[in-house]
Amino acid sequence: MIPFSEQIQASIEYAAELFRQSKHAVVLTGAGLSTPSGIPDFRSTGTGLWSKDEPLEVASLTSFRTAPEKFFQWFRPLANQIFNAKPNSAHHAMSELERAGRIHSIVTQNIDTLHQKAGSQNVIEMHGTMNTLSCTQCYHQAEAAPYLASFVETGKIPHCPMCAGILKPDVILFGEQLPQAAWFHAQRDARQCDLMLVAGSSLEVLPVAGLPMQALDRGAHLIIVNNTPTYLNVRADVAIMEDVAVIIPAIAERVLHG
């Protein structure tokens, strides 16, 4: 067992108690949840993807339409990391909490499907998924795995088997609207929950960053576990600025086993 300071230990115990009291807990996860799995986040100084590239130049819908090869050149290393990533202990802990009926749903900003790989069932993907690709010409949708495996290995841009158009990963680029159904379900769950856990998100990307406020406005408790502060730390019942892959399993252990 990892030793914690008295303050961290007390915060973990309180977070676990909030979960035990909760009837409808919702989780919001961001890129920081997957960094322990080897997938870089976007905004960390020096290591984040946007510290190296200008997002509107490489990851916007406009740039994809005008220069798709530039997008795929940027995307290839990330696709390789996502393709080979495994769920970490935080993903598995959340899956265990869901199976035990302690988590109603997981709203995620991540596209890596690691929640599903860990066994979570009710996952709302706000920024799309790497599981499928869609043709930019005829809109044919294809399973991503065989195309991504070839793309990661050779760098060959995936093309549609129906019309030879370029296949775009079904992830939300800058300039694209969030999936309407996912946004509706996320707002519904935020407004109905009595507890929200924010894990691995800096809460800087709107509109998803506003979901915890919707929960708070309706009387929900709030737990934040993230390496850096968020704008809502001052409103949180518990705010722990430590490694999610350590803290989330510790909370789950106390919820499930006392």
Question: Which residues are the active-site residues?
Answer: 127
Give the helix/strand (H/E) hosting 25. strand 25-29
Place of tokens 């199976």: 99
Residue 29's alpha-carbon distances to 13, 54, 152, 224, in angstroms, are 21, 24, 26, 10
Helix (H/G/I), strand (E/B), else coil: 15: helix
- Asked if 2 contacts 8 with a C-beta cutoff of 8 angstroms, the reply is no
Angle, helices 68-84 vs 145-154, to 10°: value is 110
CB contact set of 141 (below 8 Å; sequence gap of 6+): 132, 133, 134, 135, 170
Gap between the Cα atoms of 205 and 211, Å rounded: 11
Measured CA to CA, the distance from residue 45 to residue 97 in angstroms comes to: 32
